[in-house]
Amino acid sequence: MTQNLELTDIQGNIVKAYGAFNFTKARYLFLRIDNGDKGREFVGAVTTKVTSAVRWEKNSMPVATTNIGFTFSGLQALELPTASLMGFPEEFVMGMKGRKDILGDDGPSDPMYWDKIWQETVHIWLSINGQSIEAVDERYQWILKQIEASDGGVTLLTGHRGEKDEDNLPYQDASVLYDAEGKPTPKEHFGYTDGIGDAVFEGQTNIQARVLGRGKLTRSGHWEPLATGEFLLGHVDEAMDYPQTAPTPKLLAHNGTYMVYRKLHENVGSFNRFLDEQSKVFPGSKELLAAKFSGRWRDNGAPVVNAPDDASKAEWDKNYAAADFAGQKKMLIDFTYNDDIDGAKCPISAHIRRINPRGSLEYGVKDAYERPGALVDRRRILRRGLPYGKVKDPTRDDGNHGIIFMALNADIKRQFEFVQQQWINYANDFKEGNDKEVLLGNHDAKNPGKVVFQVEKGSGKAPHFVNNIPRLIEARGGDYFFIPSITALKMIAGGIVDPT
């Protein structure tokens, strides 16, 4: 089944990862609505600049994009009818702070330590992605003018932490990281290559090669795009149903979705020390150990399941160098864990395996499911976002650097929250007891985490234990946003949302 999406109606950030289109810079703004009428007028003005999902030809690509979303209290401030507000799901109504126990935001990730802006009431998220910082700034200046023209209707909130803790910035900037020659890279601050795996859904692309390893696995071992309704309200999902998280009227929800925004600080000093210490007792190179934490090698993203030791990585690199562009892409993404059910190659607690087990959870459960990945296909997310800040001293944790993580999904509770709670911070589904995922787990300083690198059953080898895992990632802020379609934006702006 091929589905034609109404690309002119869908916000562009849902269908496109702007980073893949050379948008190397981003700026995120958060606003409060102080007056319903003027707030709606402001939304109407911004809607004229909102970037849709229309396909870009080479010479029609904008230099900057704009997208917009609202918290539940933002929709209240815009005076949506009560009957519409009542249709939003519980987790969205509660917001990210209210869900801290489910997300594991404890200790240093507790909302009381988040950037000051998150002590404010946030109503609107506005994002600008640009091909240069000048393009971002030009669009930012335009938005400032609209804020001024709203005449007290909306306020740009300050309170983002910058280089100094006392900084009180009016926006959060994000950017790709650059190499020593100033070339943009796909790296994040721990040195991993990022931005390879991302879900693909029906209607998003006609290019079959993009679906490999990113869609859903069929019994015959082919990859197909996931159902559109996993990522867009008003469309059929993997359960052959319409997402239950859609508010009324239908037009308000149709072609919209939910976004999780999270500022995640990376404790680079702790990561480097932990890697150094653990590599002293690890039977392999330090780079192999780092790869086993993530499921991909840091230098080029080679999947550990296909390059599980130093020798096989050297072989993988040779084949990669000899492959053409399409062949290289396939080597990076087209894999499963079916030949590694015990986790002897890619540990079960590796970041990408915990978050997307690719059918390995149902493996061997004969005929129980229509597809080998039927369970994981309901837990997928679209990843957007970029790194922020610079690491000044790789031996220290403090400062302002990490990832602005944004996930899009039709059902925050079933998709993002389930992954964060059950697969990152617990391991029941993986039969790994209380072991948390290495990189993201909310490891406790007083009671540091451990994970096991499994061996093949019956091999007689001893498993390897990684101990003393410190808290490597800390939440520094965030919330849940509704990303309406462009039709719904116009309805909200016009005050004509009619739930009857």
Q: Which residues bind to ligand HEM, rule: CB under 6 A?
A: 188, 190, 192, 194-197, 264, 266, 294, 296, 301, 351-352, 355-356, 381, 383, 402-403, 405, 407, 416, 419-420, 439-440, 473
- Nearest distance from C-beta of residue 82 to ligand HEM, angstroms: 32
What CA dihedral angle connects 169, 173, 177 and 181, to 10 degrees? -80
- The dihedral through the CA atoms of 485, 487, 492, 498 has a sign that is negative
Cα R_g (the chain), whole angstroms: 22
Helix axes 36-47, 133-149, angle to 10 degrees: 150
Q: How far is the CB of 188 from ligand HEM (least distance, A)?
A: 5
Closer Cβ to ligand HEM, 47 or 294, answer by number: 294
- Of 137 and 299, nearer to ligand HEM (C-beta) is 299
Cβ-in-10-Å burial (0-12, 13-18, 19+) of 82 comes to exposed
Contact 11, 50 (CB under 8 A): yes
CB of 155 to ligand HEM, least distance (A): 29
Q: State the nearest-atom distance from the C-beta of 416 to ligand HEM, in Å.
A: 6
Please give the structure tokens belonging to residue 467: 């101990």
Q: What's the closest the beta carbon of residue 215 comes to ligand HEM, in angstroms?
A: 10
Backbone angles phi, psi at 416, to 5 degrees: -55, -50
**CB nearer ligand HEM, residue 360 or residue 420:** 420
Instruction: Identify which of residues 290 and 497 has a Cβ nearer to ligand HEM in the complex.
Output: 290
Instruction: Pick the closer one to ligand HEM by CB: 391 or 491.
Output: 391
Distance CA 328, CA 316 (A): 10
CB of residue 322 to ligand HEM, shortest distance in Å = 23
Which H or E element spans position 383?
Answer: strand 382-388
Angle at which helices 325-333 and 310-322 cross, to 10°? 150
Which of 69/197 has CB closer to ligand HEM?
A: 197
Q: Which residue is nearest to ligand HEM (CB)?
A: 197
- Asked if residues 161 and 115 have their Cβ atoms less than 8 Å apart, the reply is yes
Comparison of 227 and 403: residue with beta carbon closer to ligand HEM? 403
Identify whether the C-beta of residue 190 lies closer than 8 Å to the C-beta of residue 196. Answer: no
Residue with Cβ nearer ligand HEM (20 or 61) = 20
* Residue 386: HSE in the Cβ half-sphere, 13 Å Cα cutoff: 28
Instruction: State how far the alpha carbon of 396 is from the alpha carbons of 9, 106, 254, 472, in Å.
Output: 45, 21, 46, 12
Minimal distance in Å, beta carbon 403 to ligand HEM?
Answer: 4
The CB-of-405 to ligand HEM minimum distance in angstroms stands at: 5
